[in-house]
Amino acid sequence: EVQLVESGGGLVKPGGSLRLSCAGSGFTFSNAWMSWVRQAPGKGLEWVGRIKSKTDGGTTDYAAPVEGRFTISRDDSKTTLYLQMNSLKTEDTALYYCTTDGRDWGQGTLVTVSS
Amino acid sequence: DVVMTQSPLSLPVTLGQPASISCRSSQSLLYSDGNTYLNWFQQRPGQSPRRLIYKVSNRDSGVPDKFTGSGSGTDFTLKISRVEAEDVGVYYCMQGTHWPPTFGQGTKVEIK
């Protein structure tokens, strides 16, 4: 059974940083393209970014609102996906999900950016 | 970015009756490889999204056959043949053809 477990969320001040983790199991993590998707409270879904598998280049792509501030990385030896978030803004407040490019989803971790 | 427009945004349905959700994209979702990357997701209250349909009409494993996806180009539809209480939630279409992937606003299905 595929499992994705996010962690690392919390309360942070505007301008601060946070690193989210997503531990994957039950599938061949190294072969998977992995993504982060967020959902602001009471709102819809927004794709944050994606990282390809290393065999497909391991490259990353980001949505415009986070480009230059967020960095996605992966450690295939630990079957873990990361999201480094810098220069956080109040509008980054959301539940952050990791997903195997849409097929399987974690339960999400809440990030609140507030002074 | 490709804009995905769903209608209706609210859908009250009587138990056992069918439901239909429309999704339109601002650009064609036909990719150069011949595939159309249009997905449908269900999000039950308090739960994570669950993918129901991928590439327009393919049901994911474990998804009951009462869910049917159809369409092409820029116009797509999700149909639920007989709505049950467990189908209550928000349904999203999502395109994966153009970067970044984008979602519709969501359609809230509730029991009348």
Question: Which one of B39, B96, B106 has the shortest CB-CB distance to A44?
Answer: B106
Per run of 10 residues, the mean pLDDT along chain A (length 115 residues) is 97 98 97 98 97 97 97 98 98 98 95 97
Burial class (CB in 10 A: 0-12, 13-18, 19+), A6: buried
- At B30-61, the pLDDT tens digits run 999 999 999 999 999 999 999 999 999 999 99
How far is Cα A21 from Cα A30, in angstroms, rounded to an integer? 16
Question: Which one of A44, A103, A108 has the shortest CB-CB distance to B48?
Answer: A108
Give the pairing type, strands A70-75 and A60-62: unpaired
Residue A101, pLDDT score? 82
Residue A86, pLDDT score? 98
Residue B107, pLDDT score? 98
Burial B80-104 (b: 16+ CB within 10 A, else e): beebeeebebbbbbbbbbbebbbbb
Residue A99, pLDDT score? 98
Q: Is A90 helix (H, G, I), strand (E, B) or coil?
A: helix
pLDDT at B29 over 90: yes
Per the CB < 8 A criterion, the answer to whether B78 and B91 are in contact is yes
Alpha-carbon distance A49 to nearest alpha carbon in chain B (angstroms):
8
